Amino acid sequence: MSEEPILVKQIAKVLDDKKALDIIALNVGHLTVITDYMVIASGRSVLQTRSLADDLDDKMTELGIPLRTREGYQEGRWIVMDYGTVLVHIFHPEAREYYHLERLWADGTNAIDLSGVLVDDEKQN
């Protein structure tokens, strides 16, 4: 197993532990050159989306995984965190519904199984 799915699952676990909603992970390497994987999650509010981003950054730093860039933190409605082969999208619910990245990047075969990673498997679409 390559390192990226492990990183994807670590990211999903951190987000789940911090009560993120609707966490999904997609293998998008065959669809784009910008990244290999995406993790998409929602917070309940702007404050929670920022908190999720902060907690994820802290945990990844502890693991020695550098954050390349972070966008959207100030507004807190759509925060993108670039970990190289994994892009993390943390949305406010209204922004997630509007942009619906799952529709753009899911091809019916590329969802990463997060069972066993998420505490409540109902959080996984």
Instruction: Supply the pLDDT for residue 122.
Output: 46
Crossing angle between the packed helical segments 46-62 and 3-17, to the nearest 10 degrees: 140
Tens of pLDDT, residue by residue over 67-88, are 999 999 999 999 999 999 999 9
Name the band, by pLDDT with cuts 50, 70 and 90, for residue 4: low
Instruction: Supply the pLDDT for residue 125.
Output: 43
Instruction: Supply the pLDDT for residue 74.
Output: 96
Q: At 113, phi and psi to the nearest 5? A: -70, 115
Mark out the alpha helices in the chain (DSSP H runs).
Answer: 3-17, 46-62, 93-99, 101-105
Instruction: Supply the pLDDT for residue 3.
Output: 56
Instruction: Supply the pLDDT for residue 77.
Output: 97
**Which domains, and CATH codes, for the chain?**
3-110 (3.30.460.10)
Instruction: Supply the pLDDT for residue 26.
Output: 95
Average pLDDT for the chain: 91
